[in-house]
Amino acid sequence: MSIGFDYGTANCSVATLIDGEVKPIPLVDEEFYVPSTLCAPTSEVVSEYLFRTLGIKPSDSVGENMLRRAIKLNAEEGLEVRGDEVKFGHEALNLYLEDPQDVYYVKSPKSFLGAMGLRDMQLSFFEDLVCAMMANIRQRAELSLEKEITQTIIGRPVNFLGRGGEESNIQAEGILRRAAQRAGFKEVEFQFEPVAAGLDYEASLTKDKNVLVVDIGGGTTDCSFLRMGPSWAGKQDRRESLLAHSGQMVGGNDLDIFTAFKQFMPEFGLGTQNQSGLELPTTQFWNPIAINDVQAQRKFYGHENRKQIQLMVKEALQPEKLGRLLELYQATLGYALIREAEQTKIALGDASSYEAKIQLLNEVVSIPVIKSELEAAIAVPTDKIKALVKEAINQSGIHPDVIYMTGGSARSPILRAAVNQVLPNTPIVSGNYFGSVTAGLARWADIIYS
């Protein structure tokens, strides 16, 4: 049977079409969403887990070399790779929060797809990460449906990265396709995420409309301008209905990163000076929280950076703040800061103020944040999202009848107001913020594979 598979930056979900109705598939008890996270004792465990536990072989010689290396390193560390060594979703997050230093944790590997300048081994490892997550989702879905799933439509952003162009997109889609095939899907196709979201909205239309779909996810924002309605429903060839596309790697993660940088990192030394009167390097405060930038993460958490941070503490005018940065490094707390930034963003959707709390080893850092400060902190990614809306309109050359906003971050009143500023007289509607892409992918799978 076939499913629609939203392999999202924040969450993964799947659905199928039964008797013309979209049926979300429960993945954990009655939950339809699994956070896009993975946790293991070490990064090398992931590759051996795929081979040893799931019987999934590497896709090429690079992967084979990486697997041999992983098995060797795991043996040297005395790690016996078992079926329960790799955790996913909430289990992965909970294990990481218990002891960040003792585990390998990754959130949103989709954010890294399409990154240029990476070595073949790094690309192969990303493929293993994605494959492990997809295999987990497929197994859970088959248990829920009690049927084998061999066909899938996977959602993809218009552009995986703002830089790299089509080369990035080809690389990222290739990783997703190979990972899905290794995970057991025999037939794999793709659909743009905003188009999929639009297909779900189209099912509710009783007359044709020009619809601007604005899909603000965890890692990307995509806009698709589409002709939609009864005249187009169910058609496999929709090339004439696609009026414009725009997309960039800017989404909920970026809002959280900018919030953490502007609001939290001053408590870790951002903006302070050393004894010579020089301001401390900004990159030391950006890199630990840039969870969607693999090079920034590697640079900050690399062994050689420890001495640099220790020197900064020694020379700082406010060493107590730089001491927190050193603790952030030692305990790998970047994800914890981003998680609190996300909570701050959610809270300030309804409230005018919020007190963020960051748990360190010997103290809890309390940081009051007001809504106007949050708006200022996320101004850069907000402006990028507005620019994408304008780009889609300019490409199409026409005014939309309606704006359909979807994606988890589209719930933000700040972002809805930003889109409204671009198109002040156009109605904004929304459906299932988290489920519309999955539902549209399920509808498209039914069209393609039926």
Mind listing the pLDDT tens digit for each residue in 182-195?
999 999 999 999 99
Same domain, 281 and 405: no
Same domain, 303 and 404: no
Same domain, 65 and 173: yes
- Number of domain units in the chain: 3
Final residue belonging to a domain, choices 377, 402, 422? 377
Whichever domain contains 417, its CATH number is 3.30.420.40
Is residue 200 a contact partner of residue 190, using CB atoms and an 8 Å limit? no
Same domain, 124 and 228: no
pLDDT tens digits, 355-373: 999 999 889 999 999 999 9
Same domain, 37 and 92: yes
Same domain, 177 and 214: no
Same domain, 104 and 233: no
pLDDT tens digits, 90-134: 999 888 877 766 788 888 888 888 888 889 999 999 999 999 999
Same domain, 235 and 268: no
Same domain, 144 and 213: no
* Mean pLDDT calculated for residue range 256-276: 96
Considering only residues 230 and 349, tell me which one the structure prediction assigns the higher pLDDT: 230
Residue 440 lies in a domain: no
Is residue 169 a contact partner of residue 160, using CB atoms and an 8 Å limit? yes
Same domain, 57 and 180: yes
Same domain, 11 and 159: yes
* Mean pLDDT calculated for residue range 138-150: 97
Same domain, 215 and 305: no
**Domain ranges, residue 395:** 207-251+380-430
* Mean pLDDT calculated for residue range 287-310: 88
**Global confidence as pTM:** 0.80
C-alpha distances out from residue 117 to 113, 172, 176, 278, Å? 12, 13, 18, 33
State how far Cα 224 lies from the chain centre.
19
Q: What is the pLDDT of residue 238?
A: 86
pLDDT band per the 50, 70, 90 thresholds, residue 162: low
pLDDT tens digits, 303-335: 899 999 999 999 999 999 999 999 999 988 998
